[in-house]
Amino acid sequence: MEWFLLILLAFVLLIAFKSIKVVRQAEVYIIERLGKFHKIADAGLTIIVPFFDHVRSVVSLKQQTMDIPPQGVITKDNVTITIDTVVFYQITDPAKAVYEIQSLKKGIEYLAITTIRDIVGKMDLDATFSSRDAINTQLRVILDEATDRWGCKVERVEIKDINPPADIRDAMEKQMNAERNKRALILQAEAERQSAITIAEGRKEAAILDAEAEKEAQIRRAAGEAAAIREVAEAKAKEIQMVYEAIKKSAPDEKLVQLKSLETLEAVANGDANKVFIPFDATSALSSLGAVKEVFTENKKTKEN
């Protein structure tokens, strides 16, 4: 009786072990019943029928990565390069991922290799280095469309490295050095040109300022000379006016007035002015002076006779 109970207990434990399954988070179980797909068990506690149901596969729903082995690819200009690629994918339909393809990872790997060779084979060497984003995008689109029927979504494709042959790499390094030297010379020439332009503009502005300063100095000198001439003329005019007033008060005769006018003109002529304007009235004084001279000459001759 005890042996029977022990056997029964062992059988119950075996049934419980076979029936109760705990599915972890971000995973699903593919359950088959008598060799056919039965259900997908999500995360948590799952009860299955022992000896009839069994777990065909455990499928992860997390985003997964796959390193594609480095592949030798021939470019459009017949250069063999090695490309290292990584693919990021996620299973969206676990049943298709298990039943539609023998090995999902192998399928993605082979498809990625053939697609890389097809895309890069249409490009030259320089384009492969400058068009990584375009290559990544084309790879992702093609792989995503091809793996959709496998219940898989390709999230991202990245080219990790592109390695050309050693001789091509040396030639590219020399070309890059030459290009850098060229850019350096261009920048130096542009800097020298800008410096020369700046210096020329500075000299031009300095010459303009010097000319303006000289012009202003000439204007100021001319204004000063004009003011000096005007002050001298005003002073002489005042002097003439004072002489005139004094003579007028002493009731002079005509000859004395003319003589004083000539003295005043002589003083004006000896001034700083370059030109002396003689009033029309002064000409009559000059003619009168000539007449006075003739009278004195005749009187002198008469006395001598």
CB 57 within 8 A of CB 86: no
Range scoring the smallest mean pLDDT among 39-43, 46-50, 204-208, 292-296:
292-296
> Is residue 273 packed enough to be buried (19+ CB in 10 Å), middle (13-18) or exposed (0-12)?
middle
Residue 46, phi then psi, degrees to nearest 5: -130, 135
pLDDT of residue 211: 86
Average pLDDT across the chain, whole number: 79
CA distance 9 to 172: 76
Q: pLDDT by residue (tens digit) across 222-266? A: 888 888 888 877 777 777 777 667 666 665 556 555 655 556 555
pLDDT of residue 243: 66
pLDDT of residue 87: 94
Q: Which sequence spans correspond to the domains of the chain?
A: 2-60, 64-164, 173-248, 252-305
Please report which confidence band the pLDDT of residue 292 belongs to, taking 50, 70 and 90 as the band edges: very low
Please report which confidence band the pLDDT of residue 280 belongs to, taking 50, 70 and 90 as the band edges: very low
Q: Is the pLDDT of residue 147 over 80?
A: yes
DSSP state string for 94-138: HHHHHHS-S-HHHHHHHHHHHHHHHHHTTS-HHHHHH-HHHHHHH
Instruction: Return the number of other C-beta atoms located less than 10 Å from residue 233's C-beta.
Output: 15
Please report which confidence band the pLDDT of residue 276 belongs to, taking 50, 70 and 90 as the band edges: very low
Please report which confidence band the pLDDT of residue 95 belongs to, taking 50, 70 and 90 as the band edges: very high
171, amino acid identity: A
Chain centroid offset of residue 231 CA: 65
Q: pLDDT by residue (tens digit) across 192-232? A: 888 888 888 888 888 888 888 888 888 888 888 888 888 87
CB 139 within 8 A of CB 128: no
Pseudo-torsion of CA 159, 131, 133, 138, nearest 10°? -80
CA distances from 16 to 32, 50, 110 (A): 18, 8, 42
CA distance 213 to 220: 10
Q: Is the pLDDT of residue 88 over 90?
A: yes
Over residues 72-84, mean pLDDT: 88
Q: Is the pLDDT of residue 57 over 80?
A: yes
What CATH number should be reported for the domain whose range is 64-164? 3.30.479.30
Chain centroid offset of residue 225 CA: 58
Range scoring the smallest mean pLDDT among 24-33, 161-170, 212-221:
161-170
pLDDT of residue 59: 92
Pick the CATH number of 2-60 from 2.60.120, 2.30.30, 2.60.40, 1.20.81: 2.30.30
Residue partners of 219: CB distance under 8 A and separation at least 6: none
In the chain, the N- to C-terminal Cα span, in Å, equals: 205
Rounded to 5 degrees, what angle do the CA atoms 162, 62, 39 make? 135
Over residues 173-189, mean pLDDT: 82
Q: Is the pLDDT of residue 296 over 50?
A: no
251, amino acid identity: A
Please report which confidence band the pLDDT of residue 21 belongs to, taking 50, 70 and 90 as the band edges: confident
The token duo for 292 is 């006075």
CA distance 237 to 257: 16
Computed on alpha carbons and rounded to an integer, the radius of gyration of the chain in Å comes to 60
Q: Is the pLDDT of residue 121 over 80?
A: yes
CA distances from 274 to 93, 151, 230, 232, 236 (A): 114, 113, 12, 12, 15
CB 247 within 8 A of CB 223: no
Q: Is the pLDDT of residue 268 over 90?
A: no
Please report which confidence band the pLDDT of residue 145 belongs to, taking 50, 70 and 90 as the band edges: very high
